Amino acid sequence: MAERMLRAFFSAIVFSSRRMTEPVGMENNWMFCNAIASGETSLPYPALRCVLKNIEKALGRTVEQKRAGKVILDLDILLYGEERFKADDWRRDYNKTLLEEVGEYI
């Protein structure tokens, strides 16, 4: 559903494959499904971040879940223009692989 909503918002968007991973820095009993999307937007960073947070909310993510350590959906911006965010995410092996998949688009 998140992919469909992102495709509706961004006309030119490319998705990596999905990778199941163990939680990092959390005491969860479930695996995470990770993917990376690459696209272009004319939105300024704050507006783009707001769009992603609204998609999370529309798909059921709540503040209470976040406080409890439950992550049902997490849409993060790793790269905006030349600026990189979430330095730890760039170092994770699974993200390196996923970034290579969309590399020609970033």
Could you report the per-residue pLDDT of 40-71, keeping only the tens digit for each? 899 999 999 999 999 999 999 988 887 777 78
Q: What is the pLDDT of residues 21-37, one digit of tens each?
A: 988 777 766 788 999 99
Residue 106 has pLDDT above 60, yes or no: no
| Helix pair 2-9, 45-58: axis angle to 10 deg | 140
What is the pTM (predicted TM-score) of this model?
A: 0.86
- Average pLDDT value for the chain: 89
Q: Of 39 and 27, which is predicted with more confidence?
A: 39
- DSSP assignment string, 44-89: -HHHHHHHHHHHHHHTT--HHHHHTT--S-----SEETTEE--HHH
